[in-house]
Amino acid sequence: MKKLLILSFQVFVFLIAKEGFYINPIISGAHPDPSICRAGDDYYIVNSSFEYFPGLPIHHSKDLVNWELIGHGLHREDQCNGDMNLVDVQSDGGIHAPTIRYHKGTFYIITTNVYNSGDGKPGLMRNFVITAKDPSGPWSEPHIIEGAPGIDPDIFFDTDGKVYFTGTHSPGDMNANGIGEIWIQELDIKKWKLTGDRKTVWDGVFGCCTEGPHIYKEHGLYYLLVAEGGTGKNHAVMMAASKDIFGPYEENQRNPVLTTRHVTNDYFVNSTGHADMIQLPDGRWYMVSLGKRNDLDGDANMGRETYLIPMNWEPTIVKWQQVSETKWEPVRYLFPIAAPMTGKVERFFPLPFPEKPQYIDNSYIDDFTSSNLKLNWTFIRVPKKNTISLTDNPGHLRLYPKSTTIENRKNFSMIGFRQRESDFDYQVKMNFMPKKNKVESGIIHYQKERNYLTSVVYKVGKKFFLEQKLKEKDKNITSLKKVHLKKYSGNIIFKTASREDRYTFYYSLDNGESFTSFTSLDAIKILDRNYTGALLGMYATSNGVSSKDYADFDWVRYNDFIR
């Protein structure tokens, strides 16, 4: 029988300490490029997922501050083959910047799969739409929109029944893949084809990296919201408005609508941008955006996360028009003001619904007693057949080592979930008795193929060893420490404790009765904190040899701590 209480591990579920407020980010861990929609009193957010599978995580909320992962838009292998390749997609490729919308009983997600073949040929940017009646799934096969260049598409349902595609292209060429300018064209959603004329409508305010467009129709105007300034500390949200969807668009003279480029580098969050907006049933508005925490040398291992910002609308002069030979009058449009009192993302904002407080559940526990994987688990690309099993040894996750190791474009034997805070405890119990010497299995802290840390067990002859290996960016794999496990009988518990930017590693060979200290490492040295965030997980490889070995994982325990 499994132990339900693991020594030295605690689970915390608590009401946020600052009464009447919620804490940002609202969806922690790597959840960038948020897009939000509402169906009645229910709210849904979808995020970019890049090369991860399943892709397009979808969260649900009733109050905008408590979010539950309910499914994925790309949840079947048959959605991710052919032109929608997530099998051998390159690192940092895959699914970028989705938009989710609800219209007449159907949910729509429109997004881009960025793929290159690695042979020097131009890459493919496949813009596509998937649909569902239930946002938890199942979702349809991808409907590829041919002739649609660029990334970060938006789908807009106008009040006259027309539907529009909004996308990006390289400056000066509306048929060229890239970012920098925004184009709009009518979309036939019965045939999934673009129709009518295409028009370039805006290149943003500063002319750098204009992307992430969303169209809204409010106050008798069409509003175009974009991201600008790149994904770093100059990231920002800009807006323009027009009386016609094809323009001309008048710039908001109070741009940027949202940014952190004007605050100190010591502020708790930076690089805020790539936003979307939602109206509540009572008429109030909120904005969601991405941001990166400053937990670790101006960054964090969680990558870009989802933040919630209150907003309202205020009149702004967009231009002056001459009404007589001697008289000019201002033309005012309503534009959104994000975080009206301070103009920046705050760590704490007042609750949208005071009677619905925010609860923080800092635990993730899996005893693998279900016949299906929990939704939090993710793979790097679509995994090979028979990589894992929940039925070969019921009550365990069985991980089969493949011959591949961790490389770009490869499918290797790894499964993980998103790290959500800088400080955390992570424990895993593994049963592993390989017959071959080169087979290894254990835990992994994964950023990219170019940057990860493993703690693995393997055997040489009749002896078993535990070794910690670090792959740093632009460096070969380094062995940090190796110990002979003299009392190893096939079971081991790995434990990682992250506190104040240091990782301390332990292991136990007596089912958690005692732990042996292994290593203590500087988090800044270990991981390069790329923009897709870190995974905690399990990893196995046979290092190029054929093997029928396997590792059984009994349970996983994760708990994190908000700074």
Catalytic residues: 33, 211
Cβ-based burial of 132 (10 A; exposed 0-12, middle 13-18, buried ≥19): middle
Q: Which two tokens stand for residue 529?
A: 């904190």
Cα angle 500, 502, 508 (rounded to 5 degrees) comes to 120
Q: Which two tokens stand for residue 435?
A: 């017959």
What is d(CA 520, CA 262) in angstroms, rounded to the nearest whole number? 37
What is d(CA 310, CA 331) in angstroms, rounded to the nearest whole number? 26
437 near 444, Cβ under 8 Å?
no
Cα angle 230, 236, 237 (rounded to 5 degrees) comes to 125
Residue 524 φ/ψ, nearest 5 degrees: -65, -35
449 near 490, Cβ under 8 Å?
no
Q: Which two tokens stand for residue 254?
A: 């109070």
53: nearest Cα among 80, 32, 28, 35: 80
What is d(CA 353, CA 335) in angstroms, rounded to the nearest whole number? 24
Q: Which two tokens stand for residue 11?
A: 């689970």
The amino acid occupying position 416 is G
What is d(CA 550, CA 358) in angstroms, rounded to the nearest whole number? 41
What is d(CA 135, CA 354) in angstroms, rounded to the nearest whole number? 27
Q: Which two tokens stand for residue 315?
A: 């009149």
What is d(CA 100, CA 139) in angstroms, rounded to the nearest whole number? 13
Q: Which two tokens stand for residue 59?
A: 């969260």
